[in-house]
Amino acid sequence: MAETRLAPRSALAGLLVPGRYGRAGEPGIALAELRPAGVTAIVARAGQDAALASALGLPAGPGCVRAGAITFVWSGPGQWVAFDAGATAEARSGLAALPDAFATMTDLGGARVVLRVAGPAARRALAKLLPIDLHPSAFGPRAGAATLAAHIPVLVWLPDEAAGFHIACYRSFGAALWHAVSGAAAEFGYEVAP
Amino acid sequence: MRIPCPYCGERGNEEFLYLGSAVLERPAPDASAEAWVDYVHMRDNPRGPGAEFMQHVQGCRAWLIVRRDTLTHAILSVAPARAARGGGA
Amino acid sequence: MNGAQPMRLAAGGAIDRARPLGFTFDGRAYAGFAGDTLASALLANGVRLMGRSFKYHRPRGPWGAGAEEPNALVELRTGARREPNTRATVIELFDGLVAQSQNRWPSLRFDVMGVNGLFAPIFTAGFYYKTFMWPASFWEKLYEPIIRRAAGLGRAAREPDPDEYDRSHLFCDVLVIGAGPAGLAAALAAARSGARVVLADEDVRPGGRLLAEAHEIDSAPGVLWAERVAGELAGMANVTLLARTTVFGLFDHGAFAALERVADHLPEPAPHQVRQRLWRIQARRAVLAAGAIERPIAFGGNDRPGVMAASAVRAYLHRWAVLPGRRGVVFTASDDGWRTADALLAAGASVEAVVDARPDPPAALMRAAGARGLRVHAGAQVVGTHGHLGLQAVDVRLPSGSSLGIDCDLLAVSGGWNPTVHLASHQGAKPVWDAALAAFVPGRLPEGLAVAGAAAGRFTLAACLADGAEAGRAAASACGHAAAPLVLPRAADEPAAQAAFFHVPGPRGKAFVDFQNDVTVKDVKQAAREGYRSVEHAKRYTTLGMATDQGKTANVVGLAILAEATGRSIEATGTTIFRPPYTPVAMGAIVGHHRGRDFRPARHTPMHDWAAENGASFVEVGPWYRAQWYARPGEKGWRDSVDREAEAVRRAVGVCDVSTLGKIEVVGRDAAAFLDFVYTSMISTLPVGRVRYGLMLREDGLVFDDGTCARMGPERFFITTTTANAGRVMQHLEFCHQVLKPAMDVSFLSVTDRWAQVSIAGPRSRDLVAMLVGPGVDLSTAAFPHMSAAEVEVCGQVPARLFRLSFSGEMAYELGVPADFGDALMRHIMQVGAPLGLVPYGTEALSVLRVEKGHPAGGELNGHTTARDLGLGGMMSRKKDYVGRRLAERPAFTDPARPILVGFKPVDRGQELKSGAHFLDPGAEARIENDQGYMTSVAFSPALGHSIGLGLLARGRERIGQQVRAYDPVRNRDIVVEVCHPVFIDPEGDRTRG
């Protein structure tokens, strides 16, 4: 029997339709779903937090670090999530080759929904959802936080101002997060790119 | 109430799970029934400074020992439970 | 004067005469201007009767001009946006505004209920507690309906609120509350230092009291200074200005709540605009510059329309260019009240007299009055008023004791100023009485809060400016922003002495203390006589301070009278407790978007859309949506679907989405030892590739959760939990690790959302699984027996995890694929499974199957049961310590008489069993002492053709075959049931293990 190929499907399938929404006029926010090629949880083995962080250049506390196409986001003491935007096989294999004694790696592919919120009004929209200080002096490039967005646990990070805010939640909350974020953005006008 | 998580910084108490008194040690498996009943069911209710377990459950998920004044809500100190109890960093 | 607005002054005011507005009150059309409030526009039109009081239905007009207004409460708007009890003094007029007066029938001018005034002797303090008590039987049928019809003021809308509300967070260094002179000075000083400043004011324009007065700053009108400062602040990137925003609550650690009325001043919010916004402000420092509220004096008939706060009269004259009356009298106990006489004269009204209760008013004021030809009566008091629907005359008692009548249509009353200390007192520290000021000032301040200006008892302009500037500088400095002291603008300190004069002895007629709740001086004294001597008791007994205005104009007068009546000082009497919110907040604003379907976020499995397309009926399990059954066309009720699904699983094969169960990856050198500590059974002996049923107890010995534990590698375990407890189990594992076993090398990761998981169950399940995992995987019982685990691939390339587990008692598997492939997998399974008779089944059929197999689940894991109760005592290892072990052994839990899990069938097979029924011996009386246990789960068994149940019965195993009564008085049922073994189908388990 010919092998059926199973096709992947986003939790937000059908929800993001390209166009302009909310308040009329120039949109203040650009919204997009990011579909990383890979998501990996990295947990340091007992006593290895600092060693692992310095070996890989990982943020030692809340924040994010970009190494090529992979962004490492701190998610807890000795814990990080690596979002791979399309790294080379070489870069990925480097990560996968980490000795077990150092760190536990777990593939989280499909387990997260990631949204990008960018534009001049992004901070004001996110202030409706996130109970943390998003002012540039408190949340600038390479900042990150594990917190809540309207009752949904999220990881939020800002690689740099141009990249915009990235928000990740458990996949099952994806539609709810999209609903909350797009609702918060409507007041400022938002655009979903094709 | 704002709780200063040692990892994440000051956050609202809605991000935390409150468990209760942090002054008790889990008895040995063969300790008396009274010791176990005290550990599981009996609590002091201090009016003033006390130590409590809280988990930053909607953040970094670290269990913390929070010393808090129950009268004024002043947070006197916050430390990761694991480090305080002899775990690795 | 504008003919259509007879009381509007020809010039002046902060209104925009180029923008006339039309509005309706009680069905009549009127005109006003942009910048008016509803109250100022009505007064301009000569309308001063605006409502009827709560208890006595007395005619009322506005007392004040601001948020503290107790009288002029109207019903605003119509239809779904109708809002009762809104203060006409703060409603911003807009074109087309519609308002109605409240609490009157048939009309405001002729209110039948005004007759309540005749019953005044009955409606005294505590009347609620003394009447309607007897006979008790009359309460429900007679008294309560009458009271309900008479109670309340305005009517809420019945339709759903069409508007949107939201909330936002705001962080700053310095929060300044109030944009009057002190607040503006504070904000300017702090902002110029570079600190992040938020300035909030409940009004639409900055300026506070400056808007109501004729004060000069730098030799120009004070309002111009206010606008200039606000303009400078608006241009600074480190400043956020929140207008129309009331900071209504102060909470621990620098947290504040504020309500912004984004679109209240518009007929409708603009598209994508909210009606109101709740701000959650976190400030490192705050300056409370909330000003002060003028207090009334209690004398006979002090509530008549036309009796107004002296400061409010000035506000109507200066801000809105409205004359509240043509012939005024001023009754004052403060220097401040005299300025109203000057303002009235300047506006062209007459002032018939200034009555100062103080025997020796300041000589300067007396001289100035004499120069203007003003008649002054020092040491005199207004004792009564006349006029039914509005003031026509007052009675003055002169120092000699003789009485003087004065015709007038306006009485401006000034009892002095009360600093607005509310926010400073929200943490419980009471304000303190300052005898020199004759006012309460803030007491011990919450950490990080400073108070400036009139709120701190500085009642004069120059002092406010200086006070605010210093407070702003100090706050910014405390946040690390050094500021040069502000160069203060030039302003004067006006005369501001005030006396502690609260009520007039021997009033003629009712002397009101709390206007909104109709509480009089007599009521307060009566409360004291009856023993309600503490302010908190007197408040509740008289209801003084309990109306929507929370006693802003009544509390101090009331407690002063109580002090006098109980022979104590004002300090000793004290105030009642201050609580948020400072002014009423709509529930919609607090709820924001979290209502209806958005009350809390929903969680969907990767197969949700597929299920919806296939007739799924969803049930909420916590935040998750789970398919209960999949209805087919022609099926009339849920039983049709559920019976069909359960029967199909036992006969052929079914597929169920079990993605919602908690899944946790437990990894580390000490993972096995750790799991030994949290489960009752030995886990460390589990070989790689095998699965064990896992029971977790709470430390008190009761069952916490159950699931499976699969060993995927020497140091890697994959455990499952129930859907409802997934979060709690994770917290428990983290606690056990970080607090109880911190040295262990083990980590936990929630992978609930990583794996889309299905259960494939039934005699043909193996055939179906074989089609999915391909020929390379040996699924024979020898190679892959019950309770096995393996990593496989599905459809050639998708990594998957296969488990042989059964909840239903049939041969069964669970298959997990990465969540992105869940939808495709389910569709593929449905396609390849069709020839096998595959049906999808939901949680209801799942429940039927597990009840038939006597499997404990939610109904049994209810927090009251032990492992032994559920027949799982054999899973409690004796070889190790684990959570709950010690207290699971306590005598009450090992008592053989304790109810344990058995099965039940109705003796009359046609009857339906209900969970929750309690068991009694046949013939025993239905009393708690005879309770033998209760039914925990029930189902209709298609296999047996009748209702079955599981339940806990004392000595249940010994009673198999006997009959007991299932007693269910709540649902009026009482049937006889037969006790049986809890496993109704395949008790040997051959089908599972085959």
Confidence bin at C121 (pLDDT 50/70/90): low
More confident residue, C144 or C567: C567
Interface chains of chain A (3 or more CB pairs under 8 Å) = B, C
| C253 contacts on B by Cβ (under 8 Å) | 1-2, 10, 73, 75
Position of tokens 């019903």?
C75
Domains within chain B, CATH numbers bracketed: 2-84 (3.30.2270.10)
What would the mean pLDDT of A3-29 be, rounded to a whole number? 95
B25: closest chain C residue by CA:
C740
The DSSP secondary-structure symbol of C550 reads T
Element (H, E) at C832: helix C822-833
Cα separation values, C724 from A63, A152, C92, C541, C728, Å? 32, 17, 50, 47, 8
In chain A, residues 88-147 whose CB comes closer than 8 Å to chain C: 100, 104, 106-112, 124, 127-128, 130-133, 135, 137-138
Over the stretch A64-86, which tens digit does the pLDDT of each residue have? 999 989 999 999 999 999 999 98
Confidence bin at A97 (pLDDT 50/70/90): confident
Over the stretch C883-908, which tens digit does the pLDDT of each residue have? 999 999 999 999 999 999 999 999 99
Q: What is the pLDDT of residue C152?
A: 72
- Using the beta-carbon criterion (under 8 Å), do B2 and C253 form an inter-chain contact? yes
Q: What is the pLDDT of residue C133?
A: 75
Residue in C94, C89, C84, C83 with CA at minimum distance from that of residue C71: C89
Nearest to C252 among B62, B73, B82 (CB): B73
Query: Which residue spans within C674-823 are E strands per DSSP?
Result: 691-697, 703-713, 716-720, 747-750, 755-761, 788-794, 798-804, 812-818
What would the mean pLDDT of A18-42 be, rounded to a whole number? 96
Q: Is B43 on the interface with C (CB under 8 A)?
A: no
C742: closest chain A residue by CA:
A46
Position of tokens 């209702």?
C947
Cα separation values, C202 from A85, A130, C333, C656, C902, Å? 48, 25, 28, 56, 66
What would the mean pLDDT of C340-355 be, rounded to a whole number? 97
- Using the beta-carbon criterion (under 8 Å), do C738 and B27 form an inter-chain contact? no
Min mean pLDDT across A122-131, B15-24, C741-750 is at: B15-24
C752: closest chain A residue by CA:
A111
Flag whether pLDDT at C29 surpasses 80: yes
Nearest to A6 among C171, C602, C794 (CB): C794
- Using the beta-carbon criterion (under 8 Å), do B82 and C282 form an inter-chain contact? no
Flag whether pLDDT at A1 surpasses 50: no
What would the mean pLDDT of C725-744 be, rounded to a whole number? 97
Number of other residues whose CB lies within 10 A of the CB of residue A128: 22
Cis-peptide into C581, omega within 30 deg: yes
| B36 contacts on C by Cβ (under 8 Å) | 886-887
C86 — phi, psi (to 5°)? -90, 145
Cα separation values, C32 from C10, C41, C51, C89, C305, Å? 13, 5, 20, 14, 20
CA distance A157 to chain B (A): 13
Over the stretch C929-987, which tens digit does the pLDDT of each residue have? 999 999 999 999 999 999 999 999 999 999 999 999 999 999 999 999 999 999 999 88
Over the stretch C496-553, which tens digit does the pLDDT of each residue have? 999 999 999 999 999 999 999 999 999 999 999 999 999 999 999 999 999 999 999 9
- Using the beta-carbon criterion (under 8 Å), do C887 and B86 form an inter-chain contact? no
- Using the beta-carbon criterion (under 8 Å), do C738 and B82 form an inter-chain contact? yes
Residue type at C536 in one-letter notation: E
Flag whether pLDDT at A115 surpasses 90: yes
Position of tokens 């004065």?
C406
- Using the beta-carbon criterion (under 8 Å), do C818 and A10 form an inter-chain contact? no
Buried b (16+ CB within 10 A) or exposed e, C728-753: bbbbbbbbbbbbbbbebbbbbbbbbb
Nearest to C742 among B10, B36, B85 (CB): B85
Confidence bin at C768 (pLDDT 50/70/90): very high
Over the stretch C679-705, which tens digit does the pLDDT of each residue have? 999 999 999 999 999 999 999 999 999
Provide the pairing of β-strand C381-386 with C393-397. antiparallel
In the three-class reduction of DSSP (H, G, I as helix; E, B as strand; rest coil), residue C581 is classed as: coil
Q: Is A40 on the interface with B (CB under 8 A)?
A: no
Please tell me the number of Cα atoms within 13 Å of C192 on its side-chain side: 18
- Using the beta-carbon criterion (under 8 Å), do B14 and A148 form an inter-chain contact? yes
Cis-peptide into C942, omega within 30 deg: no
- Using the beta-carbon criterion (under 8 Å), do A147 and B8 form an inter-chain contact? yes
Over the stretch C576-605, which tens digit does the pLDDT of each residue have? 999 999 999 999 999 999 998 899 999 999
- Using the beta-carbon criterion (under 8 Å), do B12 and A131 form an inter-chain contact? yes
| B8 contacts on A by Cβ (under 8 Å) | 62, 145-147
CATH of span A38-107: 3.30.70.1520
Interface chains of chain B (3 or more CB pairs under 8 Å) = A, C
Q: Is A50 on the interface with B (CB under 8 A)?
A: yes
Over the stretch C758-767, which tens digit does the pLDDT of each residue have? 999 999 999 9
Q: What is the pLDDT of residue C2?
A: 45
Strand partners, C172: C283
- Chosen for mutation from B16, B42, B60, B63 (greatest number of chain C CBs closer than 10 Å) is B63
Interface chains of chain C (3 or more CB pairs under 8 Å) = A, B
- Chosen for mutation from B5, B15, B64, B78 (greatest number of chain A CBs closer than 10 Å) is B15
| B82 contacts on A by Cβ (under 8 Å) | 77
Cβ(C147)–Cβ(C162) below 8 Å:
no
Q: What is the pLDDT of residue A94?
A: 75
CA distance C279 to chain A (A): 9
Radius of gyration of chain C from Cα atoms?
38
Architecture of domain A26-35+110-192: 2-Layer Sandwich (3.30)
Q: What is the pLDDT of residue C120?
A: 66
Nearest to C745 among A46, A187, A189 (CB): A46
Flag whether pLDDT at A166 surpasses 70: yes
What would the mean pLDDT of C300-315 be, rounded to a whole number? 98
Position of tokens 């106990």?
C333
Flag whether pLDDT at A2 surpasses 60: no
Q: What is the pLDDT of residue C119?
A: 67
What are the residue boundaries of the structural domains of chain A, listed by start? 26-35+110-192, 38-107
Over the stretch C209-258, which tens digit does the pLDDT of each residue have? 999 999 999 999 999 999 999 999 999 999 999 999 999 999 999 999 99
Confidence bin at C128 (pLDDT 50/70/90): low
Nearest to B15 among A47, A62, A148 (CB): A148
Over the stretch C447-471, which tens digit does the pLDDT of each residue have? 999 999 999 999 999 999 999 999 9
- The overall average pLDDT reported for chain C is 95
Over the stretch C773-783, which tens digit does the pLDDT of each residue have? 999 999 999 99
CA distance B45 to chain A (A): 31
- Compute the count of residue pairs across chains B and C with CB atoms less than 8 Å apart: 63
